[in-house]
Structure 1
Amino acid sequence: MTLLNAINSALSGLNAESQRLSAISNNVANSSTVGYKKTETLFESMVLNGTASSGSNLAGVHGINRMDIASVGQMETTGITTDLAVNGNGFFVVNTKADNSGEYLASRAGSFRPDASGNLVNTGGYYLQGIQLDSAGQPVTNATDSNITSLGTVNIGNLQATASATTKVTFNANLPSTDISDWSTTSTQAQTAHTSSVQYYDALGNAQTLTITFQPVFSTPTTPTANTWNMVIQDTAKIPATAATGTISVWGTDGTSPTNSLITTTGVLSSSNGDISGQAKLTFNGAGSTSSSQPAGTLSAVDATTSIYPVGTAPTYDSTTGDFTITTGAGRTLKVNVGVLNSSAGMTQYAGAYSATKIEKDGASFGMLQGVSVDGDGKVIASFSNGSTRPIYQLELALFTNPDGLSAVSGGAFAMDPAAGVPRLFKPGQGPAGATEGGALEGSNVDISTELTRLIQTQRAYSSSATVIQTSNQMLDVANRLNQ
C-alpha cells in the first residue's frame, strides 16, 4: 500500500465517521419523538479490482445508514383517548390527504387529534385510515388482505346518536309475603300498596314513566286471596282527563266494596300516574310447595286482565320468555319482563321488605358525541351524552415481510417501498398483528446511553483517521526532501 492509498483510506474513514456522527446526532435529537426509529451506521470495507490478497488493493471504508424500523419503542401512557399505540407488530395506515387522494403511508406515530372537520390527524399531518362501520357495527366497505385503498379517513365530526324507542323493560321485585299473612282485620284500614317507577323512551326519545303498583288481592275487605297480587301498570305518556272506569280488584278506604274507578288515596292507584296500560293477577307458589320444579315463593301464574284498557289492545303474558306485553299511552307495543314461571330470577314472594331487584331497559334519548376511544381490537368507539356507545370505525394494521425495507419520510411515516414486501391488513390482535392501545403512545426506540457510547467511539475513530493522514503527510515530506 502506498502512502497515497493510506491517505485515501484514512479520508474514507473520516467520511464514514462523519456519516455515523450525523446519524447519532439525529438519533439524539429525536430521542423524544413519538414513533421515531433510530438510524444505525454500518461500515463496509472497500476493495479495488476485486481482491485484497496483496494488501495493495484495499481502498478504505464506506458507511451505510440503516433505520431500525422493526424495533419497538417504550409505551407511554398519556390518558388522551385519541392517542394510539401498537403493542406488537404492525403499522397504522395513514394518508397524506383527508379525502384519500394522497399517498398511503405506514406509521407508528399515533398522536392523533381531530382537525376542524373532525378528521383524526397526527402531528406529522397524516390522516388515520380505517373501515367505516354502520349503525349496526357492520363494515360499510370490505377490506381484503392488501386492499389499502378500501380504507377511509377516520372522521368523528357531526356524530350523534339518534333516539331509539324502548322495546323491552325488565322489572323484577320481591313482594313481601307478610303483607297477606299479617293483614289487619280492621275494615277501615286501606290495603297495602307497593309502587315502583321505571323510565322508558318513546319513538322521539322523550322520557316517559311506567308506574307499577302491586297490591294483595282480597275477596272481601278482610279476606286475602292466598299468594295472589294485583299488578297495574300505568303510563305517563297519556294522562287521563278523568279516571278510567271498570272493575279493578282494589278495595276502597271505606272497606265496604270494590271501587269501579282509580283511587286517588295515597298508597293506591292515582290517575296522575297516567293511563292504565296493563293489569294482571300474579299468583305465587305457597310455603307448602315441595316440588323442586315449583319452588316456594316463585311466580306460578300470570293472568292478564282485559277489563280496562283506554288505548291499544289487551296485554298478554308469554310464560316461555316471561314477557308481559302491554300497549303504551302512545299506542306502541312494549314488553315488560317479569320473569318466567317457577324461577327465582323473576318476580318473587318472600318474607322481608318490598324491593325492586332488577330494572333494565333498552332504548335511548337523542345524544351528542362526548368522546371516542379505541379498544384492543382496533374498534373506534363513540360515546354519546345519552349514555349510549357504538363502534364507528374498525382500524386495520399493515404488516410487511421486511419492515426495515420501508423508506422514511418526514413526520414519522414510511413509504411502502417494494423492498418491504406487499402490505397485508390485519385487525389488531389477530394473527401476527399486535393489539392497539388507546390513551398511549409509542416512544422513540433510541437509547441515549448507547448513542453517547457510540459518540465517544466515533470521536476516537475520527481522531485516529486524522492522525493517519497527518503521519502520511509527514512521511511524504520526508520522501520529498530526499531529492534536495
Structure 2
Amino acid sequence: MPFNIGLSGLNAAQADLQTTGNNVSNSGTTGFKRSRAEFGDVFAQSFGGISQTAIGSGTRLQAVTQQFSQGRTEFTENGLDLAINGEGFFVLNDQGSTAYTRAGEFQVNRDGFLVNNQGQQLQGYPPQDPNTADPNFNTGQLEDIRLQTGAAPPNATTSVEALLNLRSDAEPPPEEPFNLNEPDTYNFSTSLTLYDSLGTARDASIYFVKGEEVGQWAAHVAVDGVADDTPYELTFDGSGSIESVDRIPPEVFVEFDNGANPLEFEIDFGGTTQYGGDFAVNDLNQDGFASGRLTGVDIDDSGVVFARFTNGQSTVLGQVAMANFTNPQGLEQLGNNNWAETFAAGEPVFAAPGTGNLGTIQSGALEASNVDIAQELVNLITAQRNFQANAQTISTADQVTQTIINIR
C-alpha cells in the first residue's frame, strides 16, 4: 500500500510539472489560457468499514482546467489584429465546422476573406444596407467576412447645398442679358465640382445677378461651360434672410456624351443670406463622388468592419460575431488556440461585441497569454519538491519492507 500511495503522488507531481511546463511553453502564445492541475484524494473503504480509522490510498488527477482570465493587451501596427476586452470568443469557419478562439491574428487571403494563420475564416453578420452611415445587421445569419478589394462605385450628384452671403448694397450689372463669358453681366460667381453617374468630375459654376427690385437676385447655373436656360429666382426679406426660391422645374438637368446618365440635381439656397457684408461663400458642398480604390480597413470596438476608399467614402462590410458559453471551462481544446463546443460547456450564444455579457473589440491589438511566469516558476519548484517527497515515501517504504524481511 505505501508503494501505491507514493506512486500516486509521483504521478500527481508529474502531471503538475507537465501542466506547469505547458503553461511556461505557451507564455508567448496569443490568446492562450493557462491550465491548472486539480487533484483529489483516494479512499478505498469497504461497506461497513470504520471511517475514523480509514487511511487514504493516495491521490489522483481529477482534471486539468483552463483559467479564462483576461490576458494583457499588446498593441500592434496591424489594423486586422483584434483583441477581446472581456468575455467571449471569435467564431471561425473551419471548412464547414465551427471553432472558437481568443487569438485575433487575422489577415486577408487571396479571395479577400478575413482568415487566421490556419486559414479558418472569421465569421460575422452581413449589413442590411452597407451604404448607410449607421447600418443594421442581420444578426440571425452568420457568414464569412469578406473585404471588398475592387473599386468603390461612383455616385452621381443629386443635391447641392449653397450657404453664401450676397451683398445687400450691390447694384444690377451694367450690361444684360446674362452671359457667363461677360463679367459685366453678373455680380458674383463661385464654382464647385459635380460628378456624373460614371464618376467623371464636372466643373459647375453659379453666377449671381442682382435684380432691379430690392431683395431680388437671379442665380444662373453652368456645367462644363454650358449655362442652363432657367435661373433660380431668389428673394430676400428685410432682415437679409431668404424668403423664397423659385425655379420650374426645381432641378437642373444636364446631358453628357460620355455614356453617363443625365445629371439631375437641385440647389438648396436655404442658408443663403443678403447682408451688408462682402460676398462670401460660407459653405458649398454636394453629395456626389468619383469611384475609389481601397486604402484600408477599420474595425471599431463594436466589431463593425469599414472599408475606406480613396474617394473619401467608406463602406460597411459586416460586423464581427462573437460567442459565449455558460461554462467556458467545459470547452474542448483543439490546439492552435481553438476550442470546440461540448455538452459540458453549454450551447453557444451568438451576439455582437459589447452586447450582453460579451466584451468589446480592440483593433490593432492582440490579447497576450495570461500566464504569469513568476507564478509558474514557483509552481515548478513546488511540484519538484512534491515529486521528491513522494519518491522519499517509496524509499522509506522500501527500507521498512527490507527491515521486515531481514527479521529472523
Pick the TM interval, shorter chain. 0.7 to 0.9
Residue deviations 1:351-399 (CA, integer Å, cap 9, x gap): 3332221223223222222222222222211112222112112222111
Percent identity over the alignment is 33
Contact kept in structure 2, 1:167 and 1:333, CA below 8 Å? yes
Contact kept in structure 2, 1:131 and 1:395, CA below 8 Å? yes
Separation (CA, whole Å) in 2 of partners of 1:172 and 1:85:
45
Shift of 1:79: 3.5
> Are residues 466 and 137 of structure 1, via their aligned partners in 2, closer, same or farther at CA, if it must alter by over 3 Å?
farther
Show the counterpart of 1:367: 292
Show the counterpart of 2:35: 39
> Are residues 234 and 440 of structure 1, via their aligned partners in 2, closer, same or farther at CA, if it must alter by over 3 Å?
same
Separation (CA, whole Å) in 1 of partners of 2:94 and 2:184:
76
Separation (CA, whole Å) in 1 of partners of 2:226 and 2:185:
21
In the TM superposition, what are the counterparts of 1:192-207 in structure 2 within 5 Å?
193-207=187-201
Show the counterpart of 1:153: 144
- Give unpaired runs (5+ residues) of structure 2: 175-182, 257-261
Show the counterpart of 1:328: 254
* Alignment pair present for 1:7 and 2:3: yes
What is the TM-score when the length of structure 2 is the normalising length?
A: 0.87
Shift of 1:113: 0.3
Residue deviations 1:178-216 (CA, integer Å, cap 9, x gap): 4359x99xxxx9477322212121111111122112233
Highest Rg: 1 or 2?
A: 1
Show the counterpart of 2:82: 84
Separation (CA, whole Å) in 2 of partners of 1:399 and 1:206:
49
Aligned with 1:49: secondary structure? Answer: coil
In the TM superposition, what are the counterparts of 1:23-422 in structure 2 within 5 Å?
23-49=19-45, 53=51, 55-97=53-95, 101=96, 103-133=97-127, 136=130, 143-144=139-140, 150-156=141-147, 158-180=149-171, 190=184, 193-217=187-211, 219=212, 225-236=213-224, 273-276=225-228, 278-286=230-238, 296-304=239-247, 314-316=248-250, 325-330=251-256, 331-339=262-270, 346-422=271-347
Contact kept in structure 1, 2:5 and 2:57, CA below 8 Å? yes
Contact kept in structure 1, 2:156 and 2:263, CA below 8 Å? no
Separation (CA, whole Å) in 2 of partners of 1:212 and 1:347:
13
Which sits farther off after the overlay, 363-372 or 88-97?
363-372
Separation (CA, whole Å) in 2 of partners of 1:178 and 1:47:
105
- Give unpaired runs (5+ residues) of structure 1: 145-149, 220-224, 237-272, 287-295, 305-313, 317-324, 340-345
Shift of 1:15: 1.0
Aligned with 2:103: secondary structure? Answer: coil
What is the TM-score when the length of structure 1 is the normalising length?
A: 0.74
Separation (CA, whole Å) in 2 of partners of 1:433 and 1:52:
51
Shift of 1:151: 2.0
The CA RMSD measured in Å over matched residues stands at 2.7
Contact kept in structure 1, 2:220 and 2:227, CA below 8 Å? no
Show the counterpart of 1:427: 352
Contact kept in structure 2, 1:277 and 1:328, CA below 8 Å? no
> Are residues 29 and 9 of structure 1, via their aligned partners in 2, closer, same or farther at CA, if it must alter by over 3 Å?
same
> Are residues 467 and 427 of structure 1, via their aligned partners in 2, closer, same or farther at CA, if it must alter by over 3 Å?
same
Aligned with 2:265: secondary structure? Answer: strand
Separation (CA, whole Å) in 2 of partners of 1:52 and 1:112:
61
* Equivalences, count: 391
Separation (CA, whole Å) in 1 of partners of 2:268 and 2:230:
13
Separation (CA, whole Å) in 1 of partners of 2:53 and 2:6:
15
Which sits farther off after the overlay, 401-410 or 61-70?
61-70
Which sits farther off after the overlay, 85-94 or 121-130?
121-130
Shift of 1:328: 2.6
User: Which amino acid counterpart does residue 274 of structure 1 have in structure 2?
Assistant: V
Contact kept in structure 1, 2:302 and 2:354, CA below 8 Å? yes
Aligned with 1:404: secondary structure? Answer: helix
Residue deviations 1:77-120 (CA, integer Å, cap 9, x gap): 223221112222211110222xxx3x201111111001122221
User: Which amino acid counterpart does residue 371 of structure 1 have in structure 2?
Assistant: G
Residue deviations 1:298-332 (CA, integer Å, cap 9, x gap): 1122233xxxxxxxxx442xxxxxxxx22234443
